[in-house]
Amino acid sequence: MKHRIGRVETQIQREIDDILLKDVNDPRVRAVTITGVKLTGDLQEATVYFSILSDDPKALTDAQTGLDKAKGLIRSEVGQRIKLFKVPTLTFKQDTSVQYGAHIDELLNEVKHEGLE
């Protein structure tokens, strides 16, 4: 069952990426990248993780608002493209792993420079 969930997560991620690129005309979601999808065991709810290139909090808020506004369109398109008994409810959350990784890099660079002095 876990293998099937993983395949469905990957397929949903691909489809949402494609939908954002081709079907959603909202300029707030132009710079959004879908980084992952996490489905519940019963395939009823999907948490969609996204990231944006900008560190600007306003850009993040705008992207979240744009995704929440397009949620219905995205869900209906996913339902048409993927044959599931019931299309999962979508929840969009920011993927903070990119910022976390950048923060770790900064800390490592600081330690490296302090060690050279």
Do residues 34 and 20 touch, judged by C-beta distance below 8 A? Answer: yes
Question: Helix crossing, 71-81 with 2-22: angle to 10°?
Answer: 120
Helix (H, G, I), strand (E, B) or coil at 18: helix
Q: What is the pLDDT of residue 116?
A: 67
Cα distances from 46 to residues 34, 55, 110, in angstroms, run: 13, 25, 38
Q: What is the pLDDT of residue 112?
A: 83
Helix (H, G, I), strand (E, B) or coil at 72: helix
CA triple 20-26-29, angle to 5 deg: 55
How far is C-alpha 62 from the geometric centre of its chain's CA atoms?
A: 14
pLDDT, tens only, 17-45? 999 998 888 888 888 999 999 999 888 99
- Burial class of 20 by CB neighbour count within 10 A (0 to 12, 13 to 18, 19+): buried
Which whole number is the average pLDDT over 102-115? 85
CB neighbours of residue 82 within 10 Å: 14
